[in-house]
Amino acid sequence: MSSNLYIEIYFDNPKHIELQVLGDGKGKVISLGERDCSMQRKHQKVIEEAPANIPQKLRDDVYAKVCKVMGEHCYRSLGTVEFLYYKEKLYFIEVNTRIQVEHPVTESVTGLDLVEMQLIVGNKGEIPNQSDITIRGHAIESRITAEDPFTFIPSPGKVTQYLAPGGPNVRIDGALYPGWVIPPHYDSLATKIISSGKNRDEAIKTHKQALKELAISGIKTSTELHNWIIERKDFLEDKVSTQWLEKALKSKD
């Protein structure tokens, strides 16, 4: 065995699970639940959900370990601890010490404003107790990008029409308006649609309607891709992985 070689386990079709935590910098760290961010293309997240479908025993175990370790290091602020989920085990990837694009799904199921929580902690304020945190229902987020929905060629330019979906349990995070010019120099994210419900099936039903109502003209967007994904049997049965989308698009009619 050569000491010049470094061997890692290869995971075929893992899920991407991330745990949201909040620390006060004094040793207190609480969990705000987890997200499933497995729907990806080239390791870039496309759809996120909360909570993730993992065994309760595993969930409790990882919550306890993560909060203990980060508490011992007096972690302060929001943090996202990311894992690969494979054969009912979690394998650590990294910690992102900031708020994430997908934070609205966590806000939807906890009822907390994570941006407000981050500001409170930054000002050395108090954070909730773990016993105050309750996960209710299910939430789904679609990242709508300014690019062709299936070739993924960027589509910067002027937005000529924008109609956002509405109704109960639908949230829009974005700043689009008719006349806004999406520049070619930055991330192609145009807006986000977040839908919630009492359970995953209800959240999906609401999300389907929201995607159908979304209207953006003047540029191409990934809306059609999201409409396609949310009708797939594997997605509806929660049987996707980090590699699912790219494989599914290759076999798409």
Q: Print the SS3 string covering 43-75.
A: CEEEEEEECCCCCHHHHHHHHHHHHHHHHHCCC
Q: CB atoms < 10 A from the CB of 233, how many? A: 7
Between the alpha carbon of residue 63 and those of residues 55, 239, 241, the distances in Å are: 12, 24, 22
The predicted structure's pLDDT at residue 119: 94
Active site residue 98: yes
In a domain, 9, yes or no: no
Q: Which two tokens stand for residue 242?
A: 């980090």
In a domain, 214, yes or no: yes
In a domain, 195, yes or no: yes
Pick from 221, 229, 220, 222: which is nearest to 248 by CA?
A: 229
User: How many domains is the chain partitioned into structurally?
Assistant: 1
CATH number at residue 159: 3.30.470.20
In a domain, 196, yes or no: yes
Tens digit of pLDDT at every position of the chain (253 positions): 678 888 888 899 999 999 999 999 999 999 999 999 999 999 999 999 999 999 999 999 999 999 999 999 999 999 999 999 999 999 999 999 999 999 999 999 999 999 999 999 999 889 999 999 999 999 999 999 999 999 999 999 999 999 999 999 999 999 899 999 999 988 899 999 999 999 999 999 999 999 999 999 999 999 999 999 999 999 999 999 999 999 999 987 6
In a domain, 158, yes or no: yes
In a domain, 223, yes or no: yes
The predicted structure's pLDDT at residue 175: 87
pTM comes to 0.93
In the set 35, 41, 98, 200, the catalytic residue is 98
Pick from 105, 112, 167, 98: which is nearest to 142 by CA?
A: 105
Q: Residue 122 belongs to what domain range?
A: 15-250
Give Cβ neighbours of residue 87 (< 8 Å, ≥ 6 apart): none
Task: Please list, residue by residue across 198-220, b when 16 or more beta carbons sit within 10 angstroms of its beta carbon and e when fewer do.
Answer: eebeebbebbbebbeebebebbb
- How many whole angstroms separate alpha carbon 140 and alpha carbon 48? 6
In a domain, 181, yes or no: yes
- How many whole angstroms separate alpha carbon 88 and alpha carbon 78? 26
Strand partners, 144: 191
- How many whole angstroms separate alpha carbon 25 and alpha carbon 182? 39
In a domain, 3, yes or no: no
Q: Which two tokens stand for residue 156?
A: 């910067």
